[in-house]
Structure 1
Amino acid sequence: MPPKARRRVPRPSPLPALQAPVLAIGLEGSANKLGCGIVRHSPDGSVDILSNVRHTYVTEPGTGFLPADTERHHRNWLVRVVEEAVRRAGVRVEDCACVCYTKGPGMGGPLHSVSLVARTLSLTYALPLIGVNHCVGHIEMGRTITGAQNPIVLYVSGGNTQVIAYSAQRYRIFGETLDIAVGNCLDRFARIIGLSNDPSPGQNIEIEARKGKRLLPLPYATKGMDVSLGGILAATEAYTRDKRFRPLERRHDAPTEDWGAKANGTTWSGDGRHVVSAEEADALPAQVAELALDKDASEITPADLCFSLQEHIFAMLVEITERAMAHVGSKEVLIVGGVGCNARLQEMMGVMASERGGSVFATDERFCIDNGIMIAHAGLLAHRMGIETPLEKSTTTQRFRTDAPHVTWRA
């Protein structure tokens, strides 16, 4: 007879118990999203979001955001964003236990501007300083909001594409992009076809993709646990030079400000938690079921290209995520990062997870898009474990791997 499978007993959390609520302020500015948030941890284990303010640097259609311009935006707005976050929270900065900031990864100039203000707050109010890994911030916020226990994490954003699992107080990278990140790929194609950058090019790709009528053939490049997206971007761009391509007739003007969360057409529960059920996963769009690879299209529209690009890329991401789930025996998937807001990605992942008897967890755009709350939350977890960033080491780095931090607050 085969031996009985051992039952895994969860270990208790190493986080020390709180005697009273503690607060933290977090500053995020690794790319074009500038955020500040204040979070509270309570003795009963609850996490309360007191404020979550964000201001986005938006450029004209067809253009991206340069590091120097983004840094200038952050310098111009950061003090106002911090003041607004403190005002909305109804607390004082000195009420916080620590000041948390994004140490990396990200764009050098924007990171530096945020760290400068974080150091100033730390010195002014005599508060400990905590440098936070941006990727770990996304994961910890996602775990807290959704309640996912020990999921495989798909981290998809403008600068990162990684499949991650937790083991022995580290977030281990199972697979990642070999060239450009998925968010970068989508953003660059949005610029090619002239989509607006408001509220984000990736979101406008998603909206345009819903109008697509043809699934065009594109390269599919999974390499073991990794993906390559440079080739599919070049191939999709090549269709725009085809004589059958009909470009967009108009472009949208971009606003300059965005203080708060914008709805993305998805219904969310009040706590920002969204779980894809088996019923939702089964409700596939009719266009996917009816379409075949159309090599003889008489006309190719931007919507067709957005639809085809999304379907191919997301299929690759689902494949490598499923492979990681099979390897570790997990039935949970947590999607984090800005691209994690994409309803079609959540839906495709939900189909795969439901076939494996599992669940997909994702958050709404308040938490999946870069924000100060995730930095405050992850930083406060580290602070409760006695971790602090000395002033002389409060630097920033554009390359800060997800598997580098020691995650002492997990068993």
Structure 2
Amino acid sequence: MALTLDDIRAAQTRVSPHVLNTPFVPSRTLSDICGCEVFLKFENLQFTASFKERGALNKLAQLDTDERRRGVLAVSAGNHAQGVAYHAQRMGIPATIVMPKFTPAVKVERTRAFGANVVLHGATFDDAREHGMRLVAEQGFVLVHPYDDPQVAAGQGTIAMEMLAAQPDLDAMVIAVGGGGMIAGMAVAAKALKPGIKMFGVQTERFPAVFNAKRGTDHASGTATIAEGIAVKSPGAGNVEIVRSLVDDCVLVSEADIERSILMLLEIEKTVVEGAGAACLAALLAHRELFSGLRVGLVLCGGNIDPLVLAGIIERGMVRSGRLARITVSVRDVPGALASLTRVLADNSANIEEVHHQRAFTALSAQYTEVDVVVQTRNAAHIQELVAALVAEGFDARVH
């Protein structure tokens, strides 16, 4: 891929009047937790809640009159779709967006709200891409590729320029990687402006194509991830070349790492990110030894997460941290037994969320019933205090 700092500077001139120069600020709390100086680039604050606007706009701004008349087509899991749709609408260019069928509804509806014709096709990004290529060939659309295009990568590279302008003493940047457009553009810009800076790519364990290319491994790709924005099996060939030459290392993170990071950013920074947007923080938490003592810039690349998925992550995070527990208690099936149980929980400062009686599906004698109680708690120690208090009152209690 022929991509230079001059290309990225030209892209910055085109896009800067129309996208946010998003905040890039330190996080004292995350720095203490991660053992390095953490700076956050809030790309989730862009109008479409993603960095993808930059590359899409840089591409659209260079179309000639005939290309604008023919209209554009993009294949996207959501964020690139919104960036293309929004700026195409703003510029009066017809846009068709092809998305996998299982794209989160919030991304589909927002893309339609920007005036694009949305086509849902296939179970994966690669299925949708194949269909999109057929439409381009049949109907003459101009393809706006989400990552395998130097003009798109140049637009994404403007992120690195803003980060170094705000914090010139950065030691490293950590970037989520799917198709590789963002890390390619950012690596070209950052290494040209500051050759000694370290560039790290992050992928999910379920979609490790760029990691494989960088490390020479052959980890298999999966079928689903909470970070669907970087769920790409076939990254851009030009982007991979740049990763091999300019990126210092790539790391993998688990689904649990990403969920934890989404919740930490919500609780600590009061900001909502999607799975891909949390991947860089997940890397700091999972690979602390790589970043110890460094000044590290993270790109919170997107915030388009399905509210139901976010609710599930919050609840699961509360379970992992000991703030939500399900306790099964065996009680005599007589009047007042449940009242006695809830009294013990109340006396020990547990707030009850759910109560479920189980009479039929149990091996207990007919005189007893099982009660599942979901309670809000302070921490894991508090849960054990509750169990001990229940046992002291004669209940048979266990935690799931």
TM-score, with structure 2 as normaliser:
0.29
For the pair shown, the structure with the greater C-alpha radius of gyration is 2
Which has a greater percent of helix? 2
Identify the structure with bigger relative contact order (alpha carbons < 8 Å, sequence gap 6+).
Answer: 1
**Taking structure 1 as the reference length, what is the TM-score of the superposition?**
0.28
